[in-house]
Structure 1
Amino acid sequence: MTAGTPEPVVNVRIQTQDFDISSEIDALTRDRADIGAVVSFTGLCRDEGGRLSALELEHYPGMAERAIRTIADEAVKRFALTGITAIHRHGAIPPGGNIVLVVATAPHRQAAFDGASFLMDYLKTDAPFWKKEHLKAGGTGEWVSAKDADDKAKARWRRT
């Protein structure tokens, strides 16, 4: 950091309650004249063809926050971000409900886009969360498996 430049802000939370996207963006940008770009991603619970009543997300408290914080800190360093927020919900989330929010801020747009994508790709593959479907017809469906496409997306960030 250069003299007079504020330290990057890193916010990582895992919570049951919903989040307000505008408030989270405001928290990263308030009183910051060094930010030229804000990129946000919000992941929602899909309806899965009308068969899902909720998606239940479980995690290891403490472990999940540490894992996400490690990747968020790396994103700040790697892309020279001015700030990053990662919020991941747990518990039963109905279709259309917010699951995850990633907000990255930077002096320039490409860094903000890359930082948000980097963090989201790692959240999908490495964050210790488990998802179980709850069906409208009653009962539960399967535990949701990781997707090969998520591993391929993460692979693009490997350093050579």
Structure 2
Amino acid sequence: MHGNAVPDSYVYVTEEGVTRHYSDGSVEAMAWEDVVEVRVVTESESELLYILLDRDGEGCVVPRSATDATFLARLRYLPDFDLERLRAASEAIADRIVVVWRSPEPPPRCRIWSTTDASRLIWIAGLLSRAIFAIGVDRQFSPVCRYR
């Protein structure tokens, strides 16, 4: 039987994001609003890949062969995205990974706690420690807390 080989994945680009469906049934998806970094991967024996990453380092890999003008046009809407930098990275011959865009707004690393939040946490910790102590005393088999 002759014919075209079945592609290993399909990529869909919409106004909301990018989705890649693999032939094994797995799916990678990324909403445009979650993208914080775009990388270009060039390897001499492989096709060029675009990698979209979110704040948690999770990503969606998009092969160049699966892209069209819609994908490139949508990248332009990322704040301060430089298509010339993307083109230069895409034409590189050497095996490398190039970050072509990072979100100008740094991702939140931690939550800033107010005094009220800290007081609540201390109160909750006190409740938990009393509960653990009660369980340890009432149930002798529990290794949680044994005060004797």
Q: Give the alignment's TM-score, normalised by structure 2.
A: 0.27
- Which entry has the higher C-alpha Rg, 1 or 2? 2
Structure having the larger proportion of residues in strand: 1
